[in-house]
């Protein structure tokens, strides 16, 4: 059956309801894992800081987390294509429980840097398996011709994920303060285990169709648009993490004299705000469309041109902060105001990317396409994480910001090659309803 025939084939109400039910469960599992992931990061960061580890030693604890993010998204997409998204979802939740229990071992002698790096690697694998399953599942419940709906759903899922990760930062610090490191880890393990049991009990049927004939070489996309978008994604996320992971927290703590809770609170608020902007990305971009008297919007959905211009605009903010710091302008004002503005444009750019990867990918190849794309995402985070500490040590936060400028300009230049809509699409979005 051709792709056009598949798109035109009727979908029974029972099948549609089953897909929607399963997608809801997958999303709930993703939210649970995201909340836990943010809490683990803050728990480890705070606890090892209390043990006397330096900022760079603490940063190294997350190195395997990022490395295995690249590996997981590469192999995870292949496994999901072969076994189905349901398998990768449950595997991710199980591995998160294992990671939490490993960190909660009673003998503190186990908590060496290599041991924690391994536990963090397992947690990173768990997070990426769950994320890939949830993002890919959107294609199962959105019709191929409902691109505006796809954009809206992707934006809500991605935005809610980042907001919950910020909440997880707060949760991790609160649990450490109230009940301590080990008990907090057991509480989080119980949360993920409960989610796993609930999802396994309520999910009906599979989640997508497994393709036993999928080949590993197919993970390396033959779709030119997907490859270009993945390359742009590497540069975009490197531009964030080159200052966010080590440079900014160390600068706020050592140079500006912020205490740890102020540093953690600012990072959490930044991530939550970033997530909120992502969730409302369709509404913010819709404001550029013309709305007629019947409340129907007419305009183009995001395309390669949108991603390109957002990247070029984004480059102005780290450049502006670096110049302001060099000119002796109040550093707190320059950093807080500049990075909040950076977060808004970055969130819009990221939301457009997340929509485009699904728009470029066929429904029956969504897992592999999304896996490849998020492998690029993880590679960008890894690049930024490694450089953040090294660049800060040599050139300070200003150096990190100029590296961010170079990376984000690279993302913009690559985005020039992305496909553009030749014709303006009629997007049936009712004014004031936020959807179509």
For residues 325 and 331, the answer to whether their CB atoms sit within 8 Å is: yes
DSSP letter for each residue of 174-242: HHHHHH-HHHHHHHHHHHHHHHHHHHHHH--S-SS---TT--GGGGS---HHHHHHHHHHHHHHHHHHH
Confidence of residue 428 (pLDDT cuts 50, 70, 90): very low
Q: Classify 421 in phi/psi space as left (phi over 0), alpha (psi -120 to 50) or beta.
A: beta
**According to the model, what pLDDT value does residue 6 have?**
38
Hey, is 272 helix, strand or coil? Answer: helix
Poorest-pLDDT segment among 48-57, 113-122, 235-244:
48-57
Task: Find the range with the poorest average confidence among 60-64, 197-201, 308-312, 406-410.
Answer: 60-64
Q: 331-360 and 147-179 are packed helices; what angle lies between their axes, rounded to 10 degrees? A: 130
pLDDT of residue 220: 53
Domains in the chain (CATH in brackets) are: 13-206+216-430 (1.20.1250.20)
pLDDT at 276 over 50: yes
Higher-pLDDT residue of 290, 123 = 123
The helix (run of H) or strand (run of E) holding residue 297 is: strand 296-298
- pLDDT (average), residues 73-99: 77
Q: What was the pLDDT predicted at 149?
A: 62
pLDDT at 7 over 80: no
Average pLDDT on 6-22 reads 50
Written as one string, the DSSP assignment of 315-333 is HHHHHHHHHHHHTT--HHH
Read off the pLDDT of each residue in 87-116 and give the average, rounded to a whole number: 80
Q: How confident is the model at residue 407 (pLDDT cuts 50, 70, 90)?
A: very high
The pLDDT-based confidence of 189 (bands split at 50, 70, 90) is: very high
Higher pLDDT, 163 or 35: 35
Of residues 295 and 265, which shows the higher confidence score? 265
pLDDT computed for residue 296 by the predictor: 43
Mean pLDDT within 106-129: 77
87, pLDDT greater than 90? no
Dump pLDDT digits (tens) for 129-170. 887 777 666 666 655 555 566 666 666 666 677 778 778 877
**Structure pTM?**
0.68
What count of Cα atoms within 13 Å lies in the side-chain half-sphere of residue 227? 7
pLDDT of residue 299: 54
Q: What is the mean pLDDT of residues 73-100?
A: 77
Q: In the prediction, which pLDDT does 2 show?
A: 36
Assess whether pLDDT exceeds 50 at residue 433: no
* Most trustworthy range by pLDDT among 140-149, 171-180, 256-265, 367-376: 171-180
């Amino acid at each position: 059956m051709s792709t056009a025939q598949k798109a035109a084939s009727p979908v029974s109400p029972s099948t549609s309801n089953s897909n929607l039910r399963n997608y809801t469960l997958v999303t709930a599992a993703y939210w649970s894992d995201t909340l836990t992931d943010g809490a683990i990061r803050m728990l480890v960061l705070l606890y090892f800081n209390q043990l006397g580890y330096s900022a760079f030693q603490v940063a190294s604890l997350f190195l395997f987390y990022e490395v295995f993010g690249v590996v997981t998204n590469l192999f995870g997409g292949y496994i999901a294509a072969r076994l189905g998204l349901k398998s990768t979802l449950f595997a991710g939740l199980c591995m998160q429980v294992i990671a939490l229990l490993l960190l909660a071992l009673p003998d503190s002698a186990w908590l060496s840097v290599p041991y924690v790096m391994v536990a963090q690697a397992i947690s990173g694998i768990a997070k990426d398996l769950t994320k890939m399953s949830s993002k890919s599942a959107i294609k199962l419940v959105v019709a191929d011709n409902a691109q505006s709906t796809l954009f809206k759903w992707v934006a809500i899922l991605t935005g809610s994920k980042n907001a919950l990760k910020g909440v997880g930062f707060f949760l991790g610090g609160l649990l450490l303060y109230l009940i301590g490191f080990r008990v907090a880890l057991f509480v989080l393990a119980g949360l993920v285990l409960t989610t796993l049991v609930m999802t396994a009990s309520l999910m009906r049927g599979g989640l997508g169709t497994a393709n036993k004939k999928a080949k590993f070489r197919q993970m390396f996309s033959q779709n030119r648009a997907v490859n270009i978008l993945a390359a742009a994604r590497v540069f975009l996320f490197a531009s964030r993490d080159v200052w966010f992971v080590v440079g900014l927290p160390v600068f706020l703590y050592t140079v500006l004299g912020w205490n740890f809770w102020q540093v953690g609170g600012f990072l959490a608020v930044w991530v939550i705000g970033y997530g909120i902007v992502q969730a409302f990305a369709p509404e913010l971009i819709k404001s550029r469309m013309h709305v007629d008297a019947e409340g129907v919007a007419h305009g183009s959905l995001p395309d390669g041109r949108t991603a390109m211009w957002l990247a070029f605009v984004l480059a102005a903010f780290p450049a502006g902060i670096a110049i302001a710091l060099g000119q002796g302008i109040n550093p707190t004002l320059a950093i807080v105001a500049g990075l909040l503005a950076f977060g808004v444009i970055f969130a819009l750019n990221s939301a457009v990317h997340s929509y485009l990867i699904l728009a470029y990918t066929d429904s029956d190849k969504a897992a592999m396409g999304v896996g490849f794309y998020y492998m690029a995402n993880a590679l960008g985070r890894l690049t930024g994480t490694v450089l953040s500490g090294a660049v800060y040590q040599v050139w300070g936060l200003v150096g990190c910001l100029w590296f961010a400028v170079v990376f984000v300009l690279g993302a913009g230049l690559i985005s020039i090659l992305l496909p553009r809509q030749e014709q303006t699409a009629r997007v049936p979005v009712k004014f004031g309803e936020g959807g179509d």
